[in-house]
Structure 1
Amino acid sequence: MKFDMDYIAHNNALTETNPYFKLFLTIILLVVTLALDNLYFDVIVFIIMSIVILAIAKIAFKSYLKFLSIPMAFLIITCIFLIFFFGSGEVIYDTKILGIVVTKNSLHYGVYTFMRVMGCLPCLGFLALTTPIAKILHCLATLKVPKIIIEIGLLMYNSIFIFLNEIDTMQKAQQTRLGYHSYTTSFKSLGGLASTIFLRSLDKSETLQHSLDSRGYDGELPVYEPKNRSN
Protein backbone atom coordinates (compact mmCIF):
# COMPACT_ATOMS: atom_id res chain seq x y z
CA MET A 1 0.00 0.00 0.00
CA LYS A 2 1.92 3.01 -1.26
CA PHE A 3 0.92 6.40 0.05
CA ASP A 4 2.41 9.51 -1.60
CA MET A 5 1.61 12.20 0.95
CA ASP A 6 3.98 14.67 -0.69
CA TYR A 7 2.06 14.45 -3.99
CA ILE A 8 -1.25 14.97 -2.17
CA ALA A 9 0.13 18.01 -0.33
CA HIS A 10 1.07 19.59 -3.67
CA ASN A 11 -2.22 18.71 -5.40
CA ASN A 12 -5.28 19.67 -3.38
CA ALA A 13 -7.71 22.57 -3.22
CA LEU A 14 -5.95 24.19 -0.22
CA THR A 15 -2.34 23.93 -1.39
CA GLU A 16 -2.09 27.67 -2.12
CA THR A 17 -3.87 28.74 1.06
CA ASN A 18 -1.72 30.78 3.44
CA PRO A 19 0.56 28.23 5.18
CA TYR A 20 0.83 30.42 8.30
CA PHE A 21 -2.93 30.28 8.74
CA LYS A 22 -2.93 26.49 8.41
CA LEU A 23 0.03 26.14 10.79
CA PHE A 24 -1.46 28.37 13.50
CA LEU A 25 -4.91 26.80 13.14
CA THR A 26 -3.37 23.34 13.59
CA ILE A 27 -1.35 24.39 16.64
CA ILE A 28 -4.33 26.08 18.29
CA LEU A 29 -6.61 23.10 17.73
CA LEU A 30 -3.96 20.68 19.01
CA VAL A 31 -3.36 22.71 22.18
CA VAL A 32 -7.08 23.10 22.90
CA THR A 33 -7.81 19.43 22.19
CA LEU A 34 -5.01 18.26 24.45
CA ALA A 35 -5.84 20.77 27.20
CA LEU A 36 -9.56 20.03 27.37
CA ASP A 37 -10.74 16.80 28.93
CA ASN A 38 -13.92 16.63 26.90
CA LEU A 39 -15.00 13.72 24.72
CA TYR A 40 -17.63 15.78 22.91
CA PHE A 41 -15.08 18.38 21.86
CA ASP A 42 -12.75 15.62 20.56
CA VAL A 43 -15.56 14.19 18.43
CA ILE A 44 -16.56 17.62 17.11
CA VAL A 45 -12.96 18.45 16.13
CA PHE A 46 -12.56 15.08 14.41
CA ILE A 47 -15.76 15.52 12.40
CA ILE A 48 -15.16 19.16 11.42
CA MET A 49 -11.51 18.68 10.41
CA SER A 50 -12.38 15.51 8.49
CA ILE A 51 -15.04 17.45 6.56
CA VAL A 52 -12.50 20.18 5.82
CA ILE A 53 -9.97 17.62 4.53
CA LEU A 54 -12.45 15.67 2.43
CA ALA A 55 -14.94 18.30 1.25
CA ILE A 56 -12.96 21.54 1.15
CA ALA A 57 -9.43 20.32 0.41
CA LYS A 58 -10.97 17.65 -1.85
CA ILE A 59 -8.58 14.91 -0.75
CA ALA A 60 -9.64 11.38 -1.69
CA PHE A 61 -11.33 9.39 1.05
CA LYS A 62 -8.97 6.43 0.52
CA SER A 63 -5.93 8.67 0.88
CA TYR A 64 -7.31 10.08 4.12
CA LEU A 65 -7.93 6.57 5.45
CA LYS A 66 -4.37 5.56 4.55
CA PHE A 67 -3.08 8.58 6.45
CA LEU A 68 -5.07 7.54 9.53
CA SER A 69 -4.37 3.80 9.31
CA ILE A 70 -0.78 3.65 10.63
CA PRO A 71 -1.22 5.91 13.71
CA MET A 72 -4.59 4.26 14.36
CA ALA A 73 -2.94 0.85 14.58
CA PHE A 74 -0.48 2.09 17.22
CA LEU A 75 -3.25 3.98 19.02
CA ILE A 76 -5.49 0.92 19.33
CA ILE A 77 -2.62 -1.22 20.65
CA THR A 78 -1.66 1.48 23.17
CA CYS A 79 -5.22 1.92 24.41
CA ILE A 80 -5.66 -1.85 24.83
CA PHE A 81 -2.58 -1.90 27.06
CA LEU A 82 -3.89 1.08 29.02
CA ILE A 83 -7.24 -0.60 29.60
CA PHE A 84 -5.92 -4.02 30.63
CA PHE A 85 -2.59 -3.29 32.32
CA PHE A 86 -2.79 0.18 33.87
CA GLY A 87 -4.97 2.00 36.34
CA SER A 88 -6.48 1.03 39.68
CA GLY A 89 -9.76 1.26 41.49
CA GLU A 90 -13.02 -0.64 41.10
CA VAL A 91 -12.79 -3.75 38.94
CA ILE A 92 -15.47 -3.78 36.26
CA TYR A 93 -14.28 -6.79 34.26
CA ASP A 94 -12.08 -9.74 35.20
CA THR A 95 -10.53 -11.69 32.33
CA LYS A 96 -9.52 -14.48 34.72
CA ILE A 97 -6.22 -14.72 32.86
CA LEU A 98 -3.09 -14.10 34.96
CA GLY A 99 -4.97 -11.61 37.10
CA ILE A 100 -5.59 -9.23 34.18
CA VAL A 101 -8.57 -7.00 34.95
CA VAL A 102 -10.23 -3.87 33.64
CA THR A 103 -10.76 -1.19 36.24
CA LYS A 104 -12.85 1.95 36.17
CA ASN A 105 -9.75 4.16 36.02
CA SER A 106 -8.00 2.12 33.33
CA LEU A 107 -11.11 2.20 31.13
CA HIS A 108 -11.26 5.96 31.61
CA TYR A 109 -7.58 6.34 30.62
CA GLY A 110 -8.01 4.14 27.58
CA VAL A 111 -11.17 5.77 26.25
CA TYR A 112 -10.06 9.35 26.88
CA THR A 113 -6.61 8.71 25.40
CA PHE A 114 -8.19 7.19 22.31
CA MET A 115 -10.63 10.06 21.80
CA ARG A 116 -8.03 12.74 22.49
CA VAL A 117 -5.61 11.32 19.94
CA MET A 118 -8.46 10.84 17.47
CA GLY A 119 -9.24 14.53 17.84
CA CYS A 120 -5.60 15.45 17.15
CA LEU A 121 -5.06 13.19 14.10
CA PRO A 122 -7.24 15.12 11.62
CA CYS A 123 -5.67 18.39 12.82
CA LEU A 124 -2.25 17.06 11.90
CA GLY A 125 -3.70 15.58 8.74
CA PHE A 126 -5.09 18.97 7.76
CA LEU A 127 -1.61 20.49 7.87
CA ALA A 128 0.32 17.53 6.46
CA LEU A 129 -2.08 16.74 3.60
CA THR A 130 -2.71 20.31 2.45
CA THR A 131 0.72 21.95 2.90
CA PRO A 132 3.98 20.90 1.22
CA ILE A 133 6.78 20.22 3.70
CA ALA A 134 8.92 22.98 2.15
CA LYS A 135 6.31 25.61 3.04
CA ILE A 136 5.93 24.27 6.56
CA LEU A 137 9.68 24.42 7.14
CA HIS A 138 9.81 27.93 5.71
CA CYS A 139 7.11 29.02 8.16
CA LEU A 140 9.06 27.49 11.05
CA ALA A 141 12.26 29.23 9.91
CA THR A 142 10.40 32.55 9.71
CA LEU A 143 9.13 32.00 13.26
CA LYS A 144 12.76 31.60 14.41
CA VAL A 145 12.53 27.91 15.22
CA PRO A 146 16.13 26.63 15.75
CA LYS A 147 17.71 25.46 12.50
CA ILE A 148 18.73 22.13 14.02
CA ILE A 149 15.07 21.26 14.68
CA ILE A 150 14.09 22.19 11.12
CA GLU A 151 16.92 20.12 9.64
CA ILE A 152 16.07 17.11 11.80
CA GLY A 153 12.44 17.41 10.71
CA LEU A 154 13.44 17.55 7.04
CA LEU A 155 15.74 14.54 7.32
CA MET A 156 13.12 12.56 9.25
CA TYR A 157 10.48 13.41 6.65
CA ASN A 158 12.77 12.26 3.87
CA SER A 159 13.81 9.10 5.74
CA ILE A 160 10.23 8.07 6.50
CA PHE A 161 9.28 8.02 2.84
CA ILE A 162 12.47 6.22 1.88
CA PHE A 163 11.60 3.65 4.55
CA LEU A 164 8.01 3.27 3.30
CA ASN A 165 9.17 2.99 -0.30
CA GLU A 166 11.58 0.20 0.64
CA ILE A 167 8.81 -1.69 2.44
CA ASP A 168 6.50 -1.32 -0.57
CA THR A 169 9.21 -2.57 -2.96
CA MET A 170 10.11 -5.56 -0.78
CA GLN A 171 6.48 -6.54 -0.24
CA LYS A 172 5.81 -6.52 -3.97
CA ALA A 173 8.90 -8.68 -4.53
CA GLN A 174 7.66 -11.16 -1.90
CA GLN A 175 4.16 -11.22 -3.39
CA THR A 176 5.51 -12.11 -6.83
CA ARG A 177 7.17 -15.13 -5.17
CA LEU A 178 3.89 -16.17 -3.47
CA GLY A 179 5.24 -15.05 -0.10
CA TYR A 180 1.76 -14.39 1.31
CA HIS A 181 -0.35 -17.22 -0.07
CA SER A 182 -0.66 -18.96 3.32
CA TYR A 183 -0.34 -18.12 7.02
CA THR A 184 2.99 -19.93 7.32
CA THR A 185 4.60 -18.20 4.37
CA SER A 186 3.10 -14.87 5.46
CA PHE A 187 4.79 -15.08 8.84
CA LYS A 188 8.06 -16.07 7.20
CA SER A 189 7.80 -13.20 4.74
CA LEU A 190 7.01 -10.67 7.47
CA GLY A 191 9.96 -11.94 9.50
CA GLY A 192 12.25 -11.62 6.51
CA LEU A 193 10.85 -8.16 5.77
CA ALA A 194 11.45 -6.97 9.34
CA SER A 195 15.02 -8.27 9.44
CA THR A 196 15.96 -6.97 6.01
CA ILE A 197 14.36 -3.54 6.17
CA PHE A 198 16.64 -2.49 9.03
CA LEU A 199 19.76 -3.24 6.99
CA ARG A 200 18.27 -1.60 3.90
CA SER A 201 17.42 1.50 5.94
CA LEU A 202 21.01 1.77 7.19
CA ASP A 203 22.25 1.43 3.63
CA LYS A 204 19.87 4.14 2.42
CA SER A 205 20.88 6.49 5.23
CA GLU A 206 24.53 6.04 4.31
CA THR A 207 23.68 6.76 0.66
CA LEU A 208 21.85 9.91 1.75
CA GLN A 209 24.89 11.08 3.69
CA HIS A 210 27.14 10.49 0.67
CA SER A 211 24.68 12.43 -1.50
CA LEU A 212 24.75 15.37 0.91
CA ASP A 213 28.55 15.33 1.08
CA SER A 214 28.87 15.25 -2.72
CA ARG A 215 26.68 18.38 -2.92
CA GLY A 216 28.85 20.38 -0.52
CA TYR A 217 26.90 19.74 2.66
CA ASP A 218 28.52 21.81 5.41
CA GLY A 219 26.21 20.97 8.29
CA GLU A 220 23.35 23.27 7.28
CA LEU A 221 20.52 22.43 4.90
CA PRO A 222 19.03 25.24 2.80
CA VAL A 223 15.36 25.98 3.48
CA TYR A 224 12.90 26.83 0.71
CA GLU A 225 12.09 30.54 0.49
CA PRO A 226 9.17 31.54 -1.75
CA LYS A 227 9.68 34.38 -4.18
CA ASN A 228 8.37 37.77 -3.21
CA ARG A 229 5.30 38.31 -5.42
CA SER A 230 5.72 42.09 -5.24
CA ASN A 231 8.95 41.86 -7.29
Structure 2
Amino acid sequence: MKFDMDYIAHNNDLTEANPYFKLFLTIILLIVTLALDNLYFDIIVFTIMSIVILGIAKINYRSYLKFLSIPMAFLIITCIFLIFFFGSGKVIYNTGFFGIVVTENSLHYGVYTFARVMGCLPCLGFLALTTPIAKILHCLGTLKVPKIVIEIALLMYNTIFIFLNEIDTMQKAQDTRLGYHSYFTSFKSLGALASTIFLRSLDKSETLQHSLDSRGYTGELPVYEPKKGD
Protein backbone atom coordinates (compact mmCIF):
# COMPACT_ATOMS: atom_id res chain seq x y z
CA MET A 1 0.00 0.00 0.00
CA LYS A 2 1.48 3.33 -1.08
CA PHE A 3 1.63 5.98 1.61
CA ASP A 4 -0.22 9.12 0.49
CA MET A 5 -0.32 11.57 3.38
CA ASP A 6 -2.29 14.18 1.43
CA TYR A 7 -5.05 11.67 0.64
CA ILE A 8 -5.16 10.51 4.27
CA ALA A 9 -5.40 14.10 5.52
CA HIS A 10 -8.46 14.66 3.32
CA ASN A 11 -10.13 11.35 4.19
CA ASN A 12 -10.41 10.74 7.91
CA ASP A 13 -12.95 11.36 10.64
CA LEU A 14 -11.17 14.48 11.94
CA THR A 15 -10.64 16.26 8.62
CA GLU A 16 -13.46 18.73 9.28
CA ALA A 17 -12.49 19.35 12.91
CA ASN A 18 -11.37 22.88 13.78
CA PRO A 19 -7.84 23.25 12.30
CA TYR A 20 -6.93 25.97 14.81
CA PHE A 21 -7.69 23.63 17.70
CA LYS A 22 -5.56 20.88 16.15
CA LEU A 23 -2.72 23.30 15.44
CA PHE A 24 -2.65 24.78 18.95
CA LEU A 25 -3.04 21.36 20.59
CA THR A 26 -0.08 20.06 18.61
CA ILE A 27 2.10 23.07 19.45
CA ILE A 28 1.25 22.91 23.16
CA LEU A 29 1.91 19.17 23.39
CA LEU A 30 5.21 19.53 21.53
CA ILE A 31 6.39 22.31 23.82
CA VAL A 32 5.39 20.47 26.99
CA THR A 33 6.87 17.16 25.80
CA LEU A 34 10.18 18.77 24.87
CA ALA A 35 10.33 20.87 28.04
CA LEU A 36 9.64 18.04 30.47
CA ASP A 37 12.26 15.40 31.13
CA ASN A 38 9.67 12.83 32.16
CA LEU A 39 9.66 9.35 30.68
CA TYR A 40 6.15 8.53 31.89
CA PHE A 41 4.68 11.69 30.38
CA ASP A 42 6.27 10.85 27.01
CA ILE A 43 4.73 7.37 27.09
CA ILE A 44 1.30 8.76 28.05
CA VAL A 45 1.38 11.34 25.21
CA PHE A 46 2.44 8.71 22.69
CA THR A 47 -0.32 6.33 23.81
CA ILE A 48 -3.11 8.94 23.91
CA MET A 49 -2.25 10.56 20.59
CA SER A 50 -1.90 7.16 18.91
CA ILE A 51 -5.36 6.23 20.19
CA VAL A 52 -6.75 9.50 18.81
CA ILE A 53 -5.14 8.91 15.41
CA LEU A 54 -6.15 5.27 15.10
CA GLY A 55 -9.38 5.16 17.10
CA ILE A 56 -10.99 8.57 16.62
CA ALA A 57 -9.58 9.74 13.27
CA LYS A 58 -9.89 6.13 12.00
CA ILE A 59 -6.60 6.25 10.13
CA ASN A 60 -5.32 2.89 8.90
CA TYR A 61 -2.68 1.51 11.25
CA ARG A 62 -0.40 0.62 8.33
CA SER A 63 -0.42 4.24 7.17
CA TYR A 64 0.36 5.36 10.72
CA LEU A 65 3.26 2.92 10.99
CA LYS A 66 4.62 4.11 7.65
CA PHE A 67 4.46 7.68 8.91
CA LEU A 68 6.51 6.67 11.96
CA SER A 69 8.95 4.37 10.16
CA ILE A 70 11.31 6.90 8.52
CA PRO A 71 11.90 9.15 11.58
CA MET A 72 12.06 6.02 13.74
CA ALA A 73 15.00 4.71 11.70
CA PHE A 74 16.97 7.94 12.20
CA LEU A 75 15.93 8.08 15.86
CA ILE A 76 17.20 4.58 16.62
CA ILE A 77 20.56 5.27 14.95
CA THR A 78 20.90 8.57 16.84
CA CYS A 79 20.08 7.00 20.20
CA ILE A 80 22.56 4.17 19.63
CA PHE A 81 25.30 6.76 19.06
CA LEU A 82 24.20 8.66 22.18
CA ILE A 83 24.35 5.53 24.30
CA PHE A 84 27.71 4.24 23.10
CA PHE A 85 29.68 7.36 22.18
CA PHE A 86 28.45 10.23 24.38
CA GLY A 87 28.03 10.97 28.05
CA SER A 88 30.20 10.46 31.08
CA GLY A 89 29.97 9.08 34.59
CA LYS A 90 29.94 5.58 35.97
CA VAL A 91 30.54 2.82 33.43
CA ILE A 92 27.74 0.26 33.50
CA TYR A 93 28.75 -1.79 30.44
CA ASN A 94 32.05 -2.25 28.65
CA THR A 95 31.82 -3.61 25.13
CA GLY A 96 35.51 -4.50 25.10
CA PHE A 97 35.76 -3.04 21.61
CA PHE A 98 38.04 0.00 21.11
CA GLY A 99 37.16 1.27 24.57
CA ILE A 100 33.49 1.80 23.75
CA VAL A 101 31.45 1.84 26.94
CA VAL A 102 27.96 2.63 28.16
CA THR A 103 27.75 5.06 31.07
CA GLU A 104 24.87 6.07 33.30
CA ASN A 105 24.62 9.50 31.64
CA SER A 106 24.82 8.16 28.09
CA LEU A 107 22.12 5.57 28.80
CA HIS A 108 19.95 8.29 30.31
CA TYR A 109 20.46 10.55 27.28
CA GLY A 110 19.71 7.75 24.84
CA VAL A 111 16.58 6.43 26.56
CA TYR A 112 15.07 9.82 27.36
CA THR A 113 15.86 11.22 23.91
CA PHE A 114 14.15 8.22 22.35
CA ALA A 115 11.10 8.60 24.60
CA ARG A 116 10.89 12.37 24.06
CA VAL A 117 11.00 12.11 20.28
CA MET A 118 8.52 9.23 20.33
CA GLY A 119 6.21 11.42 22.35
CA CYS A 120 6.48 14.20 19.77
CA LEU A 121 5.98 12.06 16.65
CA PRO A 122 2.27 11.22 17.26
CA CYS A 123 1.63 14.91 17.99
CA LEU A 124 3.01 15.84 14.58
CA GLY A 125 1.18 12.89 13.06
CA PHE A 126 -2.07 14.07 14.59
CA LEU A 127 -1.77 17.39 12.76
CA ALA A 128 -0.23 16.11 9.51
CA LEU A 129 -2.52 13.09 9.06
CA THR A 130 -5.81 14.77 10.00
CA THR A 131 -5.42 18.27 8.53
CA PRO A 132 -4.90 19.11 4.83
CA ILE A 133 -1.86 21.27 4.20
CA ALA A 134 -4.03 24.05 2.72
CA LYS A 135 -5.87 24.45 6.03
CA ILE A 136 -2.65 24.43 8.02
CA LEU A 137 -1.14 27.15 5.84
CA HIS A 138 -4.35 29.19 6.07
CA CYS A 139 -4.19 29.00 9.86
CA LEU A 140 -0.57 30.12 9.82
CA GLY A 141 -1.49 33.01 7.52
CA THR A 142 -4.27 34.25 9.82
CA LEU A 143 -1.81 34.01 12.73
CA LYS A 144 0.43 36.51 10.89
CA VAL A 145 3.21 34.08 10.13
CA PRO A 146 5.46 35.74 7.48
CA LYS A 147 4.36 34.89 3.94
CA ILE A 148 7.85 33.84 2.97
CA VAL A 149 7.76 31.11 5.63
CA ILE A 150 4.39 29.86 4.39
CA GLU A 151 5.54 29.82 0.78
CA ILE A 152 8.72 27.93 1.65
CA ALA A 153 6.65 25.39 3.60
CA LEU A 154 4.29 24.95 0.65
CA LEU A 155 7.14 24.48 -1.86
CA MET A 156 8.95 22.05 0.47
CA TYR A 157 5.75 20.04 0.99
CA ASN A 158 5.20 19.83 -2.76
CA THR A 159 8.84 19.00 -3.50
CA ILE A 160 9.04 16.25 -0.88
CA PHE A 161 6.14 14.38 -2.42
CA ILE A 162 7.54 14.81 -5.93
CA PHE A 163 10.82 13.41 -4.62
CA LEU A 164 9.10 10.43 -2.94
CA ASN A 165 7.04 9.75 -6.05
CA GLU A 166 10.20 9.68 -8.17
CA ILE A 167 11.82 7.19 -5.77
CA ASP A 168 8.71 4.99 -5.85
CA THR A 169 8.61 5.05 -9.67
CA MET A 170 12.31 4.25 -10.01
CA GLN A 171 12.17 1.43 -7.45
CA LYS A 172 9.25 -0.19 -9.27
CA ALA A 173 11.12 0.10 -12.57
CA GLN A 174 14.20 -1.54 -11.03
CA ASP A 175 12.09 -4.24 -9.39
CA THR A 176 10.45 -5.21 -12.69
CA ARG A 177 13.96 -5.71 -14.09
CA LEU A 178 14.91 -8.00 -11.18
CA GLY A 179 17.04 -5.30 -9.64
CA TYR A 180 16.53 -6.62 -6.11
CA HIS A 181 16.60 -10.40 -6.55
CA SER A 182 20.03 -10.77 -4.87
CA TYR A 183 22.26 -8.89 -2.45
CA PHE A 184 24.66 -7.84 -5.20
CA THR A 185 21.96 -6.52 -7.53
CA SER A 186 20.19 -4.83 -4.58
CA PHE A 187 23.29 -2.84 -3.66
CA LYS A 188 23.89 -2.02 -7.31
CA SER A 189 20.28 -0.85 -7.75
CA LEU A 190 20.38 1.25 -4.58
CA GLY A 191 23.58 2.91 -5.76
CA ALA A 192 22.04 3.69 -9.13
CA LEU A 193 18.90 4.98 -7.40
CA ALA A 194 20.87 7.27 -5.09
CA SER A 195 22.94 8.73 -7.92
CA THR A 196 20.03 9.15 -10.32
CA ILE A 197 17.50 10.59 -7.89
CA PHE A 198 19.73 13.60 -7.24
CA LEU A 199 19.78 14.51 -10.93
CA ARG A 200 16.07 13.81 -11.27
CA SER A 201 15.29 16.02 -8.28
CA LEU A 202 17.27 18.89 -9.82
CA ASP A 203 15.39 18.42 -13.08
CA LYS A 204 12.04 18.40 -11.27
CA SER A 205 12.91 21.55 -9.34
CA GLU A 206 13.76 23.32 -12.58
CA THR A 207 10.47 22.13 -14.09
CA LEU A 208 8.63 23.43 -11.04
CA GLN A 209 10.25 26.85 -11.43
CA HIS A 210 9.27 26.96 -15.11
CA SER A 211 5.71 25.99 -14.16
CA LEU A 212 5.52 28.82 -11.63
CA ASP A 213 6.93 31.35 -14.11
CA SER A 214 4.49 30.27 -16.84
CA ARG A 215 1.59 30.88 -14.44
CA GLY A 216 2.64 34.41 -13.65
CA TYR A 217 4.56 33.76 -10.44
CA THR A 218 5.72 37.09 -9.04
CA GLY A 219 7.18 35.97 -5.74
CA GLU A 220 3.94 35.28 -3.87
CA LEU A 221 1.95 32.05 -3.91
CA PRO A 222 -1.81 32.17 -3.35
CA VAL A 223 -2.93 30.21 -0.27
CA TYR A 224 -6.31 28.58 0.12
CA GLU A 225 -8.80 30.69 2.10
CA PRO A 226 -12.06 29.01 3.06
CA LYS A 227 -15.32 30.91 2.65
CA LYS A 228 -16.77 32.50 5.72
CA GLY A 229 -18.89 30.02 7.60
CA ASP A 230 -16.87 26.98 6.43
TM-score by length of 2: 0.98
Aligned residues: 230
Q: Residue 54 of structure 1 corresponds to which residue in structure 2?
A: 54
Q: CA deviation at 1:152?
A: 0.7
Q: Which moves more between the two structures, 97-106 or 168-177?
A: 97-106
SS of 2:99 mapped into structure 1:
coil
SS of 1:92 mapped into structure 2:
strand
Q: Check whether the contact 1:19–1:139 (CA below 8 A) recurs between aligned residues.
A: yes
User: Which sections of structure 1, spanning at least 5 residues, go unmatched?
Assistant: none
Deviations 1:47-84 (A, max 9, x none): 00000000100000000000000110110011111111
Equivalent residue letter for 2:198: F
Deviations 1:168-189 (A, max 9, x none): 0000001001111111111111
Q: Residue 38 of structure 2 corresponds to which residue in structure 1?
A: 38
Q: Residue 9 of structure 2 corresponds to which residue in structure 1?
A: 9
List aligned pairs for 1:192-211, cutoff 5 A.
192-211=192-211
TM-score by length of 1: 0.98
Q: CA deviation at 1:36?
A: 0.7
Q: Residue 157 of structure 1 corresponds to which residue in structure 2?
A: 157
- Paired with 2:93 and 2:156, the residues of 1 have a C-alpha distance of 42
- Paired with 2:139 and 2:51, the residues of 1 have a C-alpha distance of 25
- Paired with 2:201 and 2:227, the residues of 1 have a C-alpha distance of 35
Q: CA deviation at 1:229?
A: 2.4
Backbone CA RMSD of aligned residues: 0.9
Q: CA deviation at 1:29?
A: 0.5
Q: Check whether the contact 1:15–1:130 (CA below 8 A) recurs between aligned residues.
A: yes
Q: Residue 25 of structure 1 corresponds to which residue in structure 2?
A: 25
Deviations 1:130-167 (A, max 9, x none): 00000000000000001111111111100110110011
Q: Residue 125 of structure 2 corresponds to which residue in structure 1?
A: 125
Q: Residue 179 of structure 1 corresponds to which residue in structure 2?
A: 179
Q: Residue 85 of structure 1 corresponds to which residue in structure 2?
A: 85
List aligned pairs for 1:65-144, cutoff 5 A.
65-144=65-144
Deviations 1:183-220 (A, max 9, x none): 11111111111111111110100000000000000011
Equivalent residue letter for 2:166: E
SS of 1:106 mapped into structure 2:
helix
- Paired with 1:143 and 1:182, the residues of 2 have a C-alpha distance of 53
- Paired with 1:18 and 1:161, the residues of 2 have a C-alpha distance of 25
- Paired with 2:2 and 2:201, the residues of 1 have a C-alpha distance of 17
Deviations 1:110-140 (A, max 9, x none): 0000000000000000000000000000000
Q: Check whether the contact 1:88–1:106 (CA below 8 A) recurs between aligned residues.
A: yes
SS of 1:126 mapped into structure 2:
helix
Deviations 1:7-28 (A, max 9, x none): 0000000000000000000001
Q: Alignment identity in percent?
A: 88
- Paired with 1:95 and 1:179, the residues of 2 have a C-alpha distance of 38
Q: CA deviation at 1:6?
A: 0.1
Q: Check whether the contact 1:84–1:102 (CA below 8 A) recurs between aligned residues.
A: yes
User: Which sections of structure 2, spanning at least 5 residues, go unmatched?
Assistant: none
